[in-house]
């Protein structure tokens, strides 16, 4: 959202300007501010953003309700199969984003048939472990905590990266051009993030996007932050009754590019992507 200045006649006037994507088109929305920028500009920005997002929130709520209706009709035995299928697709894509050479068919063989392909043993073990922790995650009734994040990390990497598995880093790291949060602040920042997640009144899809963005900026682990961060997304969605999302390997570049932007831009990217994936659930 930008503040723009226009000249009309002999005077200058200020406007709030925001661009949103509607289908394949970009729509521009403006709000007149006056001859000076108001002192309550931040409040005006929030209110304008709420008005813009009302339509999005409505669609997201329709997705949730329709998903819950669908899920209730599914027999328990079929639910188990469907969750395993989600686990296979999610595990393949989240690992592939990080460079795993395991293919989707090989992921299925590892998880369902316990057949190991002729691929690096590290990739095989992390595939097995990720699927297991994913299925445990969606069944747990525990609230989000640092201990859960540490457990996820330990279970995924205990056989492949013993030196960092289940431990917060105690050194500085740089992710591309971005210097991650100071390691001495990690636990404090995670406590704050978890508190915000638990107490938030935001829409759960928006909350999942914000949580993922903040988690990746904190970058609490020496490795595996992306995988834990994407588990966090689906933990929030599933616990609040929303269908999950799989960020596909083929969309890796746009996903990474969005993470390099501001939190606001990443949230817009995420919600737009979520609506696109679950479009059939709000368009009858």
End-to-end CA distance of the chain, in Å?
A: 32
* Residue 63: inside a domain: yes
Q: Are 234 and 244 in contact (CB under 8 A)?
A: yes
The CATH number linked to 120 is: 1.10.3290.10
**Count of other CB atoms within 10 angstroms of residue 1:** 15
Average pLDDT over residues 54-81: 92
Non-local (6+) Cβ contacts of 135 within 8 A are 83, 84, 87
* Residue 93: inside a domain: yes
* Residue 75: inside a domain: yes
Total domain count for the chain? 1
Query: Residue 19's beta-bridge partner residues?
Result: 28
Q: Are 122 and 165 in contact (CB under 8 A)?
A: no
DSSP 98: T
CA atoms of 111 and 133, how far apart (whole Å): 12
What is the pLDDT, as a whole number, of residue 207?
Answer: 96
* Residue 165: inside a domain: yes
Q: How is 217-265 classified by DSSP, letter by letter?
A: HH--SSS-HHHHHHHHHHHHHHHTT-------GGGHHHHHHHHHS-HHH
* Residue 40: inside a domain: no
Residue 160 has pLDDT above 60, yes or no: yes
Annotated catalytic, 153? Answer: no
* Residue 183: inside a domain: yes
What is the pLDDT, as a whole number, of residue 48?
Answer: 76
32-41, 50-59, 131-140, 196-205: which is most confident: 131-140
Task: Please give the structure tokens belonging to residue 57.
Answer: 């929130």
What's the CA angle centered on 279, arms 275 and 281, to 5 degrees? 115
Task: Please give the structure tokens belonging to residue 54.
Answer: 């009302």
* Residue 19: inside a domain: no
Please give the helix or strand (H or E) that residue 168 lies within, else none: none
Where do we find the tokens 């949730």? Answer: 64
Q: What average pLDDT does the chain have?
A: 91
**Count of other CB atoms within 10 angstroms of residue 271:** 20
Of 9-13, 69-73, 128-132, 245-249, the poorest mean pLDDT is in 9-13
Catalytic residue among 153, 212, 219, 278: 219
* Residue 7: inside a domain: no
Is the pTM higher than 0.95? The answer reads no
CA atoms of 238 and 64, how far apart (whole Å): 10
At 201-244, the pLDDT tens digits run 889 999 999 999 999 999 999 999 999 999 999 999 999 999 99
What residues make up the domain containing 190? 57-281
């Amino acid at each position: 959202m930008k503040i723009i200045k226009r000249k009309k006649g002999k005077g200058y006037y200020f406007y709030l300007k925001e661009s949103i994507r509607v289908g394949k088109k970009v729509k521009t929305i403006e709000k007149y501010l006056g001859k000076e920028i108001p002192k309550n500009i931040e409040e005006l920005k929030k209110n304008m953003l709420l008005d813009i997002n009302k339509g999005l929130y409505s669609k997201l709520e329709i997705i949730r309700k329709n998903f819950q209706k669908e899920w209730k009709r599914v027999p328990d035995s079929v639910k188990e199969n469907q969750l395993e299928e989600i686990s296979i697709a999610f595990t393949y894509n989240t690992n592939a984003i990080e460079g795993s050479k395991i293919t989707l068919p090989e992921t299925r063989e590892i998880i369902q048939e316990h057949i190991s392909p002729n691929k690096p043993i590290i990739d095989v073990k992390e595939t097995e472990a990720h699927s297991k922790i994913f299925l445990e995650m969606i069944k747990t009734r525990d609230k989000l905590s640092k201990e859960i994040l540490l457990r996820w990390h330990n279970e995924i990497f205990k056989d492949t990266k013993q030196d960092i598995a289940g431990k917060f880093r105690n050194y500085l790291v740089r992710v591309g051009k971005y210097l991650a949060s100071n390691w001495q602040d990690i636990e404090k920042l995670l406590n704050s993030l978890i508190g915000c997640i638990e107490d938030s009144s935001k829409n759960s899809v928006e909350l999942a996007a914000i949580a993922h963005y903040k988690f990746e900026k904190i970058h609490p682990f020496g490795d595996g932050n992306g995988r834990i961060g994407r588990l966090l997304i689906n933990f929030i969605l599933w616990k609040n009754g929303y269908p999950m999302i799989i960020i596909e390997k083929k969309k890796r570049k746009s996903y990474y590019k969005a993470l390099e932007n501001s939190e606001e831009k990443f949230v817009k990217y995420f919600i737009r992507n979520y609506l696109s994936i679950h479009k059939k659930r709000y368009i009858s």
